Homo-oligomer: A and B are copies of this chain.
Amino acid sequence: MWEEKQNKLVKVFIFRNFVEAFGFMTKVALLAEKMDHHPELHNTYNKVVISLSTHDEGDIITQKDRQLASSIDKLTGGSQ
């Protein structure tokens, strides 16, 4: 579940291990580069925290953030 925290959309993803977590981060990186809209990524071992906001609009949540969040949720293993 994405939560709104301090003008960001934030979601925590927990995986079986680091390999699964980093494979997921790579997929998120590919989606982000394609959209030219980059998240804040925070990883510790099997945990990935993604924070989304739109810098060019003054660090608020925009349609771009909701679109990237939705694409991330459609990744295989993305809803773990």
Interface positions of A (Cβ within 8 A of B):
16, 18-20, 22-27, 29-34, 36, 38, 40-45, 75-77
Contact A27 B20 (CB under 8 A): yes
A22-B30, A77-B77 given; 9 more Cβ-contact pairs under 8 Å? A16-B76, A18-B29, A18-B30, A18-B38, A19-B27, A22-B26, A29-B30, A38-B44, A42-B43
Smallest Cβ-Cβ distance to A35: which chain B residue: B34
B41 touches A41 (CB 8 A): yes
* Most chain B Cβ neighbours within 10 Å, of A20, A23, A77: A23
Among B22, B36, B44, B76, the residue within 8 A (CB) of A29 is B22
